């Protein structure tokens, strides 16, 4: 059974209090996604350790590997081609559903509808992507050591029911 978990936005802003359901990608989809992400990094000139490249997807998805790739991504962000990154970002968001009324019906969720204003803050997107990465790999970009002089903190809190099935 694939993992899923609720994610509540607690930071100030228009999305504060919104609850999302994060769902793990199926194994084959996750492998292809990780492969495309790795290739995008390599094409941009980001140095990927040989043990990650030769170790297959299992090596790539290990927490230490994800930290190395994430650090490389931050360092090579300006060199990445948008044409390679955009589909990866879009595909990540297919793993996110919104729980429109978690107090009255926490079992009902639906796909994100951007025109309905389900996500109104860029920071929410970043938090959701970080939480998805952690759900898939156990590695949290927010917990990785920062190489920048300024540190940022995001605060998110799960709702009380931690496991539920996605509804259509």
Do 110 and 17 meet the contact criterion of CB atoms below 8 Å apart? Answer: no
Interatomic CA distance for residues 131 and 137, integer angstroms: 10
- CA 82 to chain centroid, in Å, comes to 18
Interatomic CA distance for residues 97 and 107, integer angstroms: 12
Residues 6 or more apart whose CB falls under 8 angstroms from that of 119 comprise 15, 18, 112, 125, 128
pLDDT tens digit sequence for 128-140: 988 988 888 776 6
Do 155 and 10 meet the contact criterion of CB atoms below 8 Å apart? Answer: yes
At which residue do the structure tokens 């360092």 appear? 75
Give percent of the chain with pLDDT exceeding 70: 64
Interatomic CA distance for residues 84 and 160, integer angstroms: 37
Higher pLDDT, 165 or 142: 142
Interatomic CA distance for residues 56 and 42, integer angstroms: 15
Structure tokens at 23: 């769902």
Residue 154 banded pLDDT, cuts 50, 70, 90: very low
φ, ψ for residue 118 (rounded to 5)? -60, -35
- Segments making up each domain of the chain, as ranges: 4-157
Residue 54 banded pLDDT, cuts 50, 70, 90: low
Interatomic CA distance for residues 135 and 112, integer angstroms: 18
Check pLDDT > 90 for residue 91. yes
């Amino acid at each position: 059974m694939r993992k899923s978990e609720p994610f509540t936005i607690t930071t100030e802003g228009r999305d504060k209090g919104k609850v999302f359901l994060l769902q793990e990608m199926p194994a084959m989809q996750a492998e292809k996604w990780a492969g495309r992400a790795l290739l995008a990094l390599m094409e941009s000139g980001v140095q990927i350790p040989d043990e990650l490249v030769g170790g297959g997807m299992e090596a790539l998805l290990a927490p230490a590997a994800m930290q190395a790739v994430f650090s490389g991504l931050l360092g090579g962000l300006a060199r990445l081609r948008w044409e390679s990154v955009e589909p990866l970002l879009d595909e990540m968001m297919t793993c996110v559903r919104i729980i429109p009324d978690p107090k009255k019906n926490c079992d009902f969720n639906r796909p994100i509808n951007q025109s309905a204003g389900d996500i109104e803050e860029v920071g929410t997107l970043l938090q959701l992507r970080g939480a998805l990465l952690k759900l898939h790999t156990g590695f949290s970009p927010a917990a990785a050591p920062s190489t920048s002089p300024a540190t940022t903190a995001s605060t998110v809190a799960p709702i009380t029911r931690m496991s539920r099935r996605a509804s259509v």
